[in-house]
Amino acid sequence: MKVGVLALQGDVREHISSLITCGVDPVAVRRSAEIDVIDALVLPGGESTTIAQLSEVFGIYEQLKNRIAEGMPVYGSCAGMILLANEILDAKQGQKSFGGLDITVRRNAFGRQVDSFESDLTFDDGSPDLIRAVFIRAPWVERVGEGVQVLASVDKHPVAVRSQTMLATSFHPELTGDHRIHRYFIEEVARPALEKVK
């Protein structure tokens, strides 16, 4: 499985190391030809407006939007979650997302209370173990559409959600050295979705 990590801005390297431990072949992507050949994509944490703008500068905005809409498996962490959301609250004026995931997110939602924090969460993947979650000016989810499953929450606010082909977390598993979320994306989201297409 060839997994791209969108390398326009944000913590690309950390996602690449997490993916390597999951036994896939990650590659940093920013050009159209590179995106053409990936099977799945990770959108890193960073700054969602910057990543969206740079995707237009690199001429890959429409291509990414289309591939996601066509069902390429995608995982977005933090800014990546915002980029996958169909609707963004507290967006910058004119802020675009790739969309495809039927959720409404509020940008910097925790940021108004506490800028950054860590928490141990239950993650609904069948394991009783808590997962260490790092939040940095993180969004939370205010609405989930039909077919979107909530996998983790903080104070009733969903912070990890999935649909058939997409996974999004408000937090940054790439920063903790715990690769459970990346493994979940590869084994439970991407692999089944790609097998179905074959």
Closest CA to 98 of 120, 76, 121: 76
70 in catalytic set = no
If one counts every other C-beta atom within 10 angstroms of the C-beta of residue 21, the result is: 11
Residue with tokens 């799945």: 40
Contacts of 198 (CB under 8 A, 6+ apart): none
Instruction: Supply the minimum distance, in Å, between the C-beta of residue 108 and ligand GLN.
Output: 5
Query: What are the residues facing 144 on neighbouring strands?
Result: 103
From the list 45, 73, 76, 100, which residue makes contact with ligand GLN (rule: CB under 6 A)? 45
Residue 194: left (phi > 0), alpha (psi -120 to 50), or beta? alpha
181 near ligand GLN, rule: CB under 6 A: no
Instruction: Report how many residues bind ligand GLN under the rule CB under 6 A.
Output: 11
From the list 16, 35, 38, 79, which residue makes contact with ligand GLN (rule: CB under 6 A)? 79
143 near ligand GLN, rule: CB under 6 A: no
Instruction: Supply the minimum distance, in Å, between the C-beta of residue 115 and ligand GLN.
Output: 10
Q: Which residues bind ligand GLN (CB under 6 A)?
A: 45-48, 78-79, 82, 107-108, 136-137
